[in-house]
Amino acid sequence: MIPNTAKAALSNNKSLFGCWIQLFNPAVAEMMGLCGYDILMIDMEHGLGSVVDAANVMRAARGTGAASLIRLPANDPVIIKTLMDQGADGIMVPMVETPEAAQAVVSACRYPPKGVRGLAVGIARGSDYGINERYVDTVDDHTLVICQIETVLGVKNAKAIAEIDGVDMLFIGRNDLAADSGHILDLDHPEVNALVDEVLAVAKAAGKKIGTVPSAGRSWQKLLDEGFDLVIPSSDISILRMFGQQEVASYRAHVGAEQAKGSIAKGY
């Protein structure tokens, strides 16, 4: 198998820097990978891509050095099985609130007797369409399994979730956590930060990796300094939006200045 660069880096206690992929355009994903992002988080929860789109994005990313992870729309073993077959380097499941839900995630990623993943190894892209004869024996070592903690109940059960064998990382969904705790859009509310800190401490105590997104008060630099292993600050959409807004603002400022000069020269 092509090594999972993200899982290897985490095993060596290196941090990861990621980009959300929500446009599902292979050329854009390839570009983000070539920019040097460690992981591309292909977002099937909030993006509009299908399984076919996700597979094509993974193909585009394969030669860039970036690992292809997929955030699922739900904790569904059928979707997990399909995307594992398509060769995802890892999966991230939203709204995991109990150890039972976390165990279901792990089981869906693993073949029997350790799990319930259906076996179609001879046609799966993940096994190089059956060419890789060691795929069944090695896939668990190459797969990064991430559970998102996004609710107060999830935080309450974070210790039990982290203790599930096969869960590699807890990823705090701070937007949903803020909303669920009664502080929608206020990611830096003291109560939200306290919940974030609680999950961070739990993950560290359990020897599991921890990830999240930045906020106004906790930049990605600060989060890395605090011990987070994965931060994903931007998406392909936000990068395009921010640069477009900046360039148009510069253009309008320049044109406005030139027009003002013209008005003064004409005595207006």
Return the active site residues.
Answer: 46
CA of 133: how far to CAs of 124, 136, 140, 178, in Å?
12, 8, 14, 46
CA 160 to mean position of chain CA atoms = 22
Token pair 């800190």: residue: 197
